[in-house]
Amino acid sequence: MGEYRRKRQRQFGQELKNLRSEAGMSGRKAAELAGTDQSTISRVENGHIRPSHELLTRLLTTYGATAAIKEGLASELTELDVGVSSWRWLEERKGPRQIYVRDLEREALRRRGYHMDVIPGLLQTAAYAEEVIRASPTITPEQVSEGIALRMERQNILFEKQRSFSFVITEYALRRPFGTSETMRTQYERLLHLGTYPTIGVLVIPLWVPYPVLPHGFTIFDDSYVYIDTVTKPVNVIETPEVKSYISIYEDLVETALPETESLELIAALAKDTD
């Protein structure tokens, strides 16, 4: 089990412990009423094991949990079993999607991403971010300002010395226009500036280079999990073989991309063309 999955399992156990505490029950009393033993209750609450769905139902009934909590935790247990995060449940627990992504970023020391269509959020200027967020089919006009603020807040992590970031961006994503030519020129200049930091790598796959046809971009956090953003829900890949597959694909993309110096030269040329 990867570290991310272990953390989610501990969080799941903590939620059950909180429900037991709110019900005013000791572990021994809960075990007695739910038809199990106290050691099982302790191991579940400490994240050492996952309960069966049957035991989860008995525990939640014992604690007097609401129907919404029962549904949510049953869904969460299923996701722990299969390793995929439901956006609906994450949204209820975490708030806006960017808050969830921000939390993933804070947990990892190494971030590697492949970006097909848009310059990644961690590298966006506020003006570029506004245009991207406004173009999202899932964002209402009232959420635009909050989205920009959250995106700018997330970028503070770029300058923490213990972390490293690597971005492989297609030339198409760089050329795709958002806003005015001034917006794009300023965005290119930001990429050039960030590319000077030793902990931030910016690589570009030019249009003329053949590269793998992939259905989506993705982000690898440490070597533990992969985040895939979709229109309806984000997906976290946390099973080791699948994570290794994405790491291998990412390494191939790095080999396909221009070296960093040439990548920055291409971005500089794009900036000059917007003058």
pLDDT in tens, 28-75: 999 999 999 999 999 999 988 888 888 999 999 999 999 888 888 887
Please state, in angstroms and rounded to a whole number, the distance separating the CA atoms of residues 108 and 140: 30
pTM exceeds cut of 0.75? no
269: which 2 tokens? 């040329």
How many percent of the chain have pLDDT more than 70? 91
CB distance 222 to 108 below 8 Å: yes
Give residue 72's pLDDT: 84
Q: Each residue of 198-251: pLDDT tens digit?
A: 999 999 999 999 988 898 999 999 988 899 887 766 777 877 788 899 999 999
Give residue 4's pLDDT: 59
Quick one: average pLDDT of 111-132?
Answer: 96
Mean pLDDT of the chain: 87
97 vs 176, residue with greater confidence: 176
Give residue 252's pLDDT: 95
Helix ranges (DSSP H) in 155-211? 171-175, 181-194
The model's confidence at residue 96, banded by pLDDT at 50, 70 and 90, is low
Give residue 236's pLDDT: 77
CB-count exposure of residue 208 (10 Å: 0-12, 13-18, 19+): exposed
Give residue 88's pLDDT: 42
Give residue 81's pLDDT: 62
CB distance 99 to 170 below 8 Å: no
Question: Has residue 171 got a pLDDT over 50?
Answer: yes
The model's confidence at residue 130, banded by pLDDT at 50, 70 and 90, is very high
Give the list of residues 6+ apart from residue 158 with CB closer than 8 angstroms, or none: 122, 165, 194, 197, 199, 200
Question: Has residue 82 got a pLDDT over 80?
Answer: no
**From edge to edge, which strands make up the β-sheet containing 200-205?**
200-205, 164-170, 110-115, 218-221, 225-228, 235-237
Strand-pair partners of 170:
205
Q: How far is CA 164 from the centre of its chain?
A: 16
Quick one: average pLDDT of 13-31?
Answer: 93
Give residue 146's pLDDT: 86
Give residue 250's pLDDT: 97
CB distance 204 to 192 below 8 Å: no
Strand-pair partners of 221:
111, 225
Give residue 28's pLDDT: 92
Quick one: average pLDDT of 4-32?
Answer: 88
